[in-house]
Chains A and B, each alone.
Chain A
Amino acid sequence: MPDSFVDASEIFERVKRKAEAERGDPFTMDPEKGLSVKIITGSGKKERTKIIWLSAPFEIVGRVRDPKSESWAWLLCWKDGDNREHEYAVLDSVLHGDVSALCATLATRGLKIATGPNRTFLAQYLNTRKDGDRVTIVPRTGWHAVDGKKVFALPGEGIGIDGRIILAAEVTASHYASSGTLEEWKDSVAKLAQAHGRARFAIASAFVSPLLMLIGADGGGINLKGPSSIGKTTLLAAAASVWDAVTSAVSSEHGAALGTELKPRQLSSRILFCRSMKSALPAPTRLAM
């Protein structure tokens, strides 16, 4: 065997890759028409080029993975017929499975996709994209260790992390909201509470919950006790304004206890506000407290 012998399968693969690169990307994402693929059939004079439409336009927001660098996925974003935005993380593992099930899942969320065998090109399209911005997916809000750093996850954003963070689908409808700016909050809620010790205490309690994990302390509870109409609910509203919209936190009348509406997982590292201790909290919530 000559010294310069190179396994022909290696040469073949190299030549094949080079030819594919020269041929270029067969996929086109038009912002109006959507995704299409260019197929060349035949050769020489019989060569024909066919453009096949695959789906309505969508954007690849980034590359999703969990804090353990597993469960890799592509985060897609598109607008449905009512111009409402949808986001969905397509797991890489799904691209190797039943593509029709994936297309059905996306179609349910308002993304128009070609039917029939051509939809397999959609999996090929996603599989051949270059890695984009990193997005971290976490199972719940609260503290997580990502790349050895402590990160606090909120819906749609993370504190202490570069890049986006998203929550697993089961907890995306969490009870967090934002309204106005920090300056506006300081100038309204905080300013009004400044002169009142109990109001300051209630607001401070809302800030304490995420700090407990950092100091390794257990959770606990605070009971504001007193006759009716002396401002207990107002204090709750002030404290709740730290985390979410005041109305969603304390104005719920049915069940009296907000805990009956929330899963403990949704409140990880966060305070739970209850209007009445008399109302029996569900067992999982009592445990969480």
Chain B
Amino acid sequence: MANFDRARRHDGAPQPTVEALMLSLRERGTKALEEPGTRRRLSELSDQQVIEGGNRLQRLKPEIARAWSSAEVEILFEARIANAR
């Protein structure tokens, strides 16, 4: 199982997991990081996927959702790193 987790972390999570995470963050902002499901999904992503997610959240169009500030992306990454430990 540990080997499987390591392999997944290296290759990243499947795209549906990434999209589910994006949806919760887009809808509920940094508050979503308090939810166990969001934290679990965040821990499954590779570093590259998390970085891409940070860029996507900053580029959100107003008609879809409010774009994240760099300070909010920083909170996301802090949660990710704290989760990884």
Tell me if B81 and A16 are in contact (CB < 8 A).
Answer: yes
CB distance from A73 to the nearest CB of B (A): 32
**Contact between chains at B83 and A43 (CB < 8 Å):** yes
A8 at interface by CB-CB < 8 Å: yes
Q: Do A43 and B84 have beta carbons less than 8 Å apart?
A: yes
Asked whether, in the complex, the Cβ of A43 is within 8 Å of the Cβ of B54, the reply is: no
* A12 x B50 contact (CB < 8 A): yes
A16, chain B: closest CB distance, angstroms = 6
Please tell me if the beta carbons of B55 and A7 are within 8 angstroms of each other in the complex: yes
Residues 42-83 of B, flagged 1 when their CB comes within 8 A of A and 0 if not, give: 000001001111110011000000010110011001100111
Chain A residues with CB under 8 A of B28: none
Q: Does B85 count as interface, using CB distance less than 8 angstroms?
A: yes
Q: Which residue of B lies closest to A7 (CB)?
A: B55
CB pair A5–B59 under 8 Å, yes or no, is yes
Q: Report chain B residues within 8 Å CB of A6.
A: 58, 70, 73
Residue of A2, A8, A9, A15 with most chain B CB atoms under a 10 A cut-off: A8
Which B residues are CB-close (under 8 A) to A11? 54, 70, 73-74, 77
27 contacts between A and B (CB under 8 A): A1-B59, A2-B58, A2-B67, A2-B69, A4-B58, A4-B70, A6-B58, A6-B73, A7-B55, A8-B52, A8-B55, A8-B73, A8-B77, A9-B51, A11-B73, A11-B74, A11-B77, A12-B47, A14-B74, A15-B77, A15-B81, A16-B77, A16-B81, A19-B78, A19-B81, A43-B83, A43-B84
Q: Which residues of A contact B54 (CB under 8 A)?
A: 8, 11-12
Q: Which B residues are CB-close (under 8 A) to A47?
A: 85
Q: A6-B58, A43-B83 are in contact. Are A12 and B70 (CB under 8 A)?
A: no
- Would B69 and A4 count as touching, CB distance under 8 A? yes
CA of A11 to CA of B84 in the docked complex: distance in angstroms?
A: 17
